Amino acid sequence: MIKKTLVALSAIALSAGTLSACGSDGGGDAAADGGGSDDTITMGFAQVGAESGWRTANTKNIQEAAAEAGVDLKFSDAQQKQENQIKAIRSYIQQKVDVIAFSPVVETGWDAVLQEAKRANIPVILTDRAVDSEDTSLYKTFLGSDFVEEGKKAGQWLVDNAADADVDGDGDINVVELQGTTGAAPAIDRKEGFEEVIAANGEISISQSQTGDFTRDGGKQVMEAFLQSEDDIDVVFAHNDDMGLGAIEAIEAAGLVPGEDVKIITIDAVKDGMTALSEGKINFIVECSPLLGPQLMDLAEKVLAGEEVPTRVVTEETTFTPEQAAEVLAERQY
């Protein structure tokens, strides 16, 4: 535990009699009382879940970056449930970790637990997803992608390739949308960015839009329903690769050729998505990097050392066509 936090915590311990037993047995559990008296940073990380290839890569990267930086990481998986994330954060507050980082499953409903962290003097770093709290003093910084920009890049590809995307040649480009988790920042923002850009072309419209919860299975089921309810779908815009991969299964099961009979645009660029892109089953992927671990550890160290950090750190990302995917596939780590 770092010294600055120790001072703050001892003030809390004094005012809260129940905490006085902490570490008093001599052989106390260093992890339980926040890491002991050395300079090791203890971080509590409340992850969303394991819903997608992106999330798996993100978790692995954070765990590896913590080990590399010598950060004592306490990790929890909320199985995509906000109540589980709130419980995990409360337990980190109780354990008196030095810093809490989390990727909020949805945008709303965090103020109460973030107030609790603030009262306990534990800084919070938002990782990957934003909260909609008006009180920005509830967190130190937000590290992650610009999801509106990602949605715009996806929409721009469609506008630029509109002629090709009118698969049935009827003059209308009929798009179905597989949304991410309802209420999640990437679902809200990707939709917004995409809609803003496609508005430039009056022939492009979204006929159906539903959540597939960022999972492969969700994408497959929703796509099956879309295909049953209309037969002139030209384009699928999936908010992540996994849902796009699920849609490919549904399209193939319906006797259609993904990437040809139905164009597919996704976001993430994980290895399975890039493989499908290089095979022409997906037509375009907007990259969203899950490799946030090293920057997160760096920000945590700075915040705890009392250094100024930017309130927003945006991840740098690119886009991929099938040809570009084929070129980088061999080196893709995740």
Contact positions toward ligand GYE, by CB under 6 A? 51-52, 54-55, 128-129, 145, 186, 214, 240, 242, 267-268, 288
Which residue bears the tokens 């590399």? 68
Nearer to ligand GYE, 93 or 313 (CB): 313
Number of CB atoms found within 10 A of residue 107's CB: 18
Which residue bears the tokens 């005012």? 15
Nearer to ligand GYE, 128 or 166 (CB): 128
- State the nearest-atom distance from the C-beta of 283 to ligand GYE, in Å: 18
- State the nearest-atom distance from the C-beta of 164 to ligand GYE, in Å: 25
- State the nearest-atom distance from the C-beta of 180 to ligand GYE, in Å: 6
Nearer to ligand GYE, 96 or 216 (CB): 216
Nearer to ligand GYE, 106 or 204 (CB): 106
Task: Please answer whether residues 141 and 175 qualify as being in contact, where contact means their C-beta atoms are separated by less than 8 angstroms.
Answer: no
- State the nearest-atom distance from the C-beta of 55 to ligand GYE, in Å: 5
Nearer to ligand GYE, 34 or 104 (CB): 104
In sequence order, what are the residues at sequence separation of 6 or more whose Cβ sits closer than 8 angstroms to the Cβ of residue 16? none
Residue 74's DSSP bridge partners are 44
Q: Which of 142, 137, 133, 107 is nearest to 121 (CA)?
A: 137
- State the nearest-atom distance from the C-beta of 124 to ligand GYE, in Å: 17
Q: How far is CA 220 from the centre of its chain?
A: 20
Nearer to ligand GYE, 54 or 102 (CB): 54
Which residue bears the tokens 């590896």? 64
Q: Which of 85, 112, 117 is nearest to 98 (CA)?
A: 117
- State the nearest-atom distance from the C-beta of 185 to ligand GYE, in Å: 7
CA distance 19 to 303: 25
Q: Which of 91, 107, 108 is nearest to 45 (CA)?
A: 91
